[in-house]
Amino acid sequence: HDECTFRSGEVSARRCVIDDSAPFFSKGRGRSYMISDFLVIHPSSPYFQLSPAEWNQATQRYPKLLEEVDIIYEKFSASAAINIGSDLYMDNELILEQFERLFQMLQFKEEYKTHTIEVLVDNARTHTSKKFSVNDFNMKPGTRCPVQSIEYLDPATNQRKTINCYFTDGENKGKSRGLLNIALNLGLKVPLNCKLQQLKELVSQHPAFQNVTKLEKLGTQYGIQVLYVPKYHCELNPIEGYWCHMKQFVRKHNDQTFNKMVSLIGEARKNFKDRQIYLELCRRFWTTLIAYNDGKDYKQVLQIPIYAVYGDREQGDEPCGKNFEEFDFAKERAIISLTVAATR
């Protein structure tokens, strides 16, 4: 998954107030169209979409899928788009809504029934937002506290525990406990005259404050694992190549008007599928994971010959040199490779 913004050269309706000496309209200042999409590594299609029958089953189970929302969804899909303007933007709340829509629909996709679903996302703030952070707490009672309680898994007993962050009785009833009291309730040994920063560092090591992101928690509710791609490693996220193709296609045929740009985005999606470019990206993805798993570093991965990734077009190879059946040999090794790559 990833988001991408397409910008036209079309000025707003106030174009008439620009005088003749105004410079050409530069990139980034035209009407914009933002897409939040999913690229699927599966032989059925590079795009996720339910059939009409599957959609009917999904809406019967989750009627909320039929509700009108601010963002534009592809029919029977979780692929979304918005016209950027005013206060509308793909923030964390909209991303969570989109992912919940995806997670609800995935269980009705017949072709995915026997599969374990894993979703790759980058480290954008819209993906990594957490319910709370140790930096959201102040030390003393009655001060800032973002949550009523903290639930965590105790590694010693493997049981879930809950710590109240507010007093439930006594003269301070209804007030926040403060980070110091929370630390003491967690059984931490707090040094005498401990400063707030020291306390935060101490508390952050406890499982109660090593909380997962909202997106990971949402995925867990639906039995889906969310994996975060290491920063600055676009080779580990095939959808980056998808955006490259889309933008190249749109720029090649665009006349700088907004409506033309939007129509070209649809054509670019079809061109991407028809030319089977997703197979090339899929092959590169597996090749990269295996290379990291074999101990290669980032520099060595970038030096992998292009024909080793895409196949030899002159020899008449398939676009990616492999088909989906031949990817199975790498599946077991690739599952752990993403974690390995994150440490490099």
Nearest Cα neighbor of 57 from 100, 110, 94, 21 is 110
Chain segment 172-187, per-residue pLDDT in tens: 888 999 999 999 988 8
Is the pLDDT at 58 greater than 90, yes or no?
Answer: yes
Structure tokens at 14: 């106030």
For the four alpha carbons of 258, 85, 246 and 78, in that order, the dihedral sign comes to: negative
Last residue of a domain, one of 247, 275, 303: 275
Higher pLDDT: 278 or 160? It is 278
Check residue 104 and give its pLDDT. 95
Which structural domain range is residue 202 located in? Answer: 134-209
Summarize the confidence of residues 296-316 as an average pLDDT. Answer: 63
Mark whether 146 and 269 lie in a shared domain: no
Label residues 89-116 b or e (16+ Cβ within 10 Å = b).
ebebebbbbbbbbbbbbbbbbeeeeeee
Number of other CB atoms surrounding residue 245 within 10 Å: 18
Say yes or no to pLDDT of 159 above 50.
yes
Residue-wise pLDDT for 206-219, tens only, equals 888 877 788 888 88
7-22 pLDDT, tens digit per residue, is: 887 665 555 555 555 5
Domain co-membership, 15 together with 122: yes
DSSP-assigned letter for residue 140: S
Whether residues 238 and 100 fall in one domain: yes
Instruction: Please give the sequence-ordered ranges of beta strands (E in DSSP) within the chain, or none if there are none.
Output: 2-7, 32-37, 72-73, 80-83, 118-121, 149-154, 159-164, 225-228
Question: Are 44 and 162 part of one and the same domain?
Answer: no
Count of domains forming the chain: 3
pTM above 0.75, yes or no: no
**Model confidence pLDDT, tens digit, residues 290-304:** 889 888 888 888 887
CATH number at residue 97: 3.30.420.10
Q: Are residues 82 and 202 in the same domain?
A: no
Strands 72-73 and 80-83: antiparallel
Lowest model confidence (mean pLDDT) among 48-52, 54-58, 258-262, 314-318: 314-318
- Residue 248: what pLDDT? 93
* Shared-domain flag, residues 26 and 109: yes
Last residue of a domain, one of 185, 209, 233: 209
Mean pLDDT of the chain: 80
> Quick one: which of 36, 56, 48 has its CA closest to 112?
48
